[in-house]
């Protein structure tokens, strides 16, 4: 845990963002203390000022260090805006499963490449489907189950084949109307 000392009290900082010796800007309005990143003017944390002396003031919010899988996956896709938006949406919608989703996205990228993956991600974004399994289903539909076999566990291959066929039938119905 890292802290900032202000008016003889220590105020904690979020985990994983700063280290000893980092310079941060401190602003106070008399009620709250705002700790700000000086280069970006981004608010790091805001605490209520305490009238006591020698206190360690902790944030009310539970703190988690940033997930390294997210950044690795974004850089794997060359920080493509579509991929970043998709990953951010997954973080919003399903934060608990973000690590598994990122790992599957990396496998998809390895198997299908950037261009095909981004194309499927774009389709999922248009349909508001923020789940990597939907991306994989679209790829199975477009390129067949053979390529996906290297990614999928054996028991799910049949499921994805049937789901992709279901998409084809649904697409045919939409085109007929």
Per-residue confidence (pLDDT) for residue 63, from 0 to 100: 57
Of 148, 137, 162, the closest CA to residue 107 belongs to 148
- Residue 72 and residue 65: Cα distance in Å, rounded? 15
Together in a domain, 72 and 50: no
Per-residue confidence (pLDDT) for residue 164, from 0 to 100: 63
Together in a domain, 103 and 133: yes
Q: What is the DSSP string of 10-73?
A: EEE--TTT--TT---EEEE-SSEEEEEETTTTEEEEEEE--SSSS-EE--SS---PPPHHHHHH
Per-residue confidence (pLDDT) for residue 153, from 0 to 100: 67
Other CB atoms within 10 A of residue 101 CB: 24
Together in a domain, 131 and 164: yes
Per-residue confidence (pLDDT) for residue 85, from 0 to 100: 93
Number of domain units in the chain: 2
Together in a domain, 33 and 85: no
Together in a domain, 14 and 77: no
Q: What is the DSSP string of 81-107?
A: HHHHHHHHHHHHH-GGGHHHHHHHHHH
Other CB atoms within 10 A of residue 78 CB: 9
Q: Write out the chain's pLDDT in tens, 177 residues.
A: 788 888 899 988 887 777 788 889 999 898 999 988 888 888 888 888 888 889 988 876 655 667 888 889 999 988 899 999 999 999 888 888 889 999 999 999 999 999 999 999 999 999 998 899 899 888 888 888 777 777 776 666 566 667 666 654 444 333 443
Per-residue confidence (pLDDT) for residue 171, from 0 to 100: 41
- Structural domain includes residue 152: yes
The CA–CA distances, whole Å, from 145 to 56, 62, 149, 151 equal 57, 42, 6, 10
Is the Cβ–Cβ distance between 31 and 49 less than 8 Å? yes
Please classify residue 62 by burial: count the beta carbons closer than 10 Å to its beta carbon, then call 0-12 exposed, 13-18 middle and 19+ buried. exposed
């Amino acid at each position: 845990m890292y802290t900032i000392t202000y008016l003889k009290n220590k105020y904690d900082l979020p985990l994983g963002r700063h280290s000893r010796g980092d310079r941060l800007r401190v602003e106070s309005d008399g009620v709250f203390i705002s700790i700000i990143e000086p280069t970006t003017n981004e608010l790091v944390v805001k605490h209520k000022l305490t009238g006591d002396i020698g206190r360690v003031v902790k944030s009310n919010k539970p703190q988690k260090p940033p997930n390294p899988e997210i950044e690795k996956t974004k850089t794997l896709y060359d920080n493509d805006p579509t991929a970043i938006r998709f990953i951010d949406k997954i973080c919003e919608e399903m934060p608990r499963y973000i690590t598994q989703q990122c790992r599957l996205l990396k496998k998809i990228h390895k198997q299908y490449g950037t261009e095909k993956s981004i194309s499927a991600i774009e389709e999922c974004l248009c349909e508001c489907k923020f789940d990597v399994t939907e991306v994989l289903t679209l790829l199975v539909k477009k390129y067949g189950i053979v390529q996906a076999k290297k990614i999928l566990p054996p028991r799910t291959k049949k499921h994805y084949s049937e789901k992709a066929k279901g998409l084809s039938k649904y697409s045919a119905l939409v085109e007929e109307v």
